[in-house]
C-alpha cells in the first residue's frame, strides 16, 4: 500500500528530481506539492515546481505557494548553484500545471484533514511552511505520519563551515519543527554527498529516453558544472532525492535515533545542526538521522521512477 506524501520544496535542480522520484515511485502517492522561498525566491520556486510536474506529465497533483521567506530572518538564496531562475541550463517550458489558489499551509491542512490515514511530509528546502502549519494549526500534528527533511549535516556545512543551506536559511523554523514531537528524519550532507552524479549516472538516467529524462539531463549538465565551479565537485551531489528514498526504499538509507539540536545564534554557527551521535550530552533522542546510503539502490530507484513518467 502506498504512503500518501506531500513534498514541500524550493526547486532547485535536485528538488525537481525529488519531485519526480516521489511522483513516479509505486510506494508513494504524491498528493500535493508546496513551495517556499529558498534556493531562489518564491515566484521562481513555485513556477519551477509546476514545470517539473508539467514535464513529467503529472497534472493531478495541486501545487501551492507558501512562505516567501523565513520566520524571522531575511531570505538568502542560492543562485550561485541553481542559476537566476533556479533551474539553470535548459530552456524552461511554460507550465501547464496551475498554481492552486490556496496558500501552502491551507493546502497541507486540507490534505491532512481529507486523508484516510496520516500523511508523510518530505521537505527539501527550508521548513518554514511546516513550522507555520504547526504553530498556527497544532491540532493537525497528529495527522502527520512523519517529516523527512533534506538538510543539515553531522559534519561540515555548505554555506558556512558549520551550516547546511536549508538549515541556515531558517533555523528558527527548523527548531520549531524538531521540537514538535512528530517523527523527524534528517537527511544531511554527510549522506547526500554520496549521491554523486557521475558520468555513469548521467548516462544511465539519460538512457531512459523519455521527455523527463531528457530535461533532467540538461538540468544535470548545469548543476554539475556549478558544483564544480563552487565546490570543486564535478560530480554534483543530488541531495534532495535521498530524502524521498527514506520512504520510497527504506532499506537504502541507514538511520540512527539520536539527539538533534539546532544552533540559532553565532556569526558562523547559526543554522548548524548539532547531532549527538555518541550521546555526549545525555539528552533524550528526538530525531532519526541518516548515516549511510546504498548508492546503487538509490540510483536504481530514481531511474525507475523517471522511467514511469512522461
DSSP 8-state class, residue 201: H
Grid coordinates belonging to 305: 521512477
Contacts of 126 (CB under 8 A, 6+ apart): 10, 36, 37, 38, 70, 151, 166, 167, 169, 170, 173, 174
Give yes or no for a contact between 227 and 234, defined as CB atoms under 8 angstroms apart: yes
Return phi, psi of residue 162, to 5°.
-115, -20
Helix (H) or strand (E) holding 245: helix 241-248
25, 44, 82, 239: the catalytic one is: 239
Residue 30 CA, distance from chain mean position: 14
Angstrom CA distances, 71 to 129, 167, 179, 212, 225, stand at 9, 12, 16, 34, 32
Largest CA distance in the chain: 53
Give the span between the Cα atoms of 9 and 121, in whole angstroms: 10
Active site residue 239: yes
Give yes or no for a contact between 86 and 40, defined as CB atoms under 8 angstroms apart: yes
Give the span between the Cα atoms of 98 and 279, in whole angstroms: 47
Helix (H) or strand (E) holding 305: helix 295-307
Catalytic site residues?
Answer: 239
Amino acid at each position: 500500500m502506498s504512503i500518501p506524501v506531500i513534498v514541500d520544496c524550493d526547486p532547485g535542480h535536485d528538488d525537481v528530481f525529488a519531485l519526480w522520484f516521489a511522483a513516479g515511485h509505486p510506494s508513494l502517492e504524491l498528493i500535493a506539492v508546496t513551495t517556499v522561498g529558498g534556493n531562489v525566491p518564491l515566484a521562481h520556486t513555485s513556477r519551477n515546481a509546476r514545470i517539473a510536474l508539467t514535464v513529467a506529465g503529472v497534472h493531478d497533483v495541486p501545487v501551492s505557494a507558501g512562505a516567501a521567506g523565513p520566520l524571522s530572518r531575511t531570505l538568502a538564496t542560492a543562485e550561485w548553484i541553481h542559476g537566476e531562475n533556479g533551474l539553470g541550463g535548459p530552456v524552461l517550458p511554460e507550465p501547464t500545471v496551475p498554481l492552486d489558489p490556496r496558500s501552502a499551509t491551507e493546502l497541507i491542512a486540507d490534505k491532512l484533514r481529507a486523508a484516510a490515514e496520516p500523511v508523510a511530509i518530505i521537505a527539501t528546502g527550508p521548513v518554514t511552511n511546516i513550522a507555520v502549519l504547526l504553530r498556527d494549526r497544532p491540532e493537525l500534528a497528529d495527522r502527520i505520519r512523519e517529516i523527512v527533511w533534506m538538510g543539515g549535516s553531522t559534519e561540515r556545512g555548505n554555506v558556512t563551515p558549520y551550516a547546511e543551506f536549508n538549515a541556515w536559511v531558517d533555523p528558527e523554523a527548523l527548531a520549531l519543527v524538531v521540537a514538535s514531537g512528530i517523527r523527524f528524519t534528517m537527511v544531511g550532507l554527510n549522506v547526500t554527498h554520496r549521491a554523486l552524479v557521475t558520468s555513469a549516472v548521467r548516462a544511465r538516467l539519460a538512457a531512459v529516453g523519455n521527455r523527463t529524462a531528457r530535461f533532467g539531463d540538461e538540468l544535470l549538465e548545469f548543476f554539475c558544472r556549478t558544483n564544480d565551479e563552487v565546490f570543486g565537485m564535478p560530480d554534483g551531489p543530488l541531495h534532495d532525492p535521498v530524502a524521498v528514498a527514506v520512504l520510497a526504499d527504506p532499506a537504502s538509507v541507514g538511520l540512527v535515533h539520536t539527539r538533534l539540536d539546532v544552533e540559532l545564534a553565532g556569526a558562523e554557527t547559526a543554522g548548524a545542526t548539532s547531532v549527538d551521535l555518541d550521546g555526549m550530552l545525555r539528552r533524550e533522542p528526538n530525531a532519526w538521522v541518516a548515516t549511510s546510503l546504498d548508492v546503487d539502490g538509490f540510483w536504481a530507484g530514481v531511474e525507475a521512477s523517471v522511467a514511469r513518467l512522461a
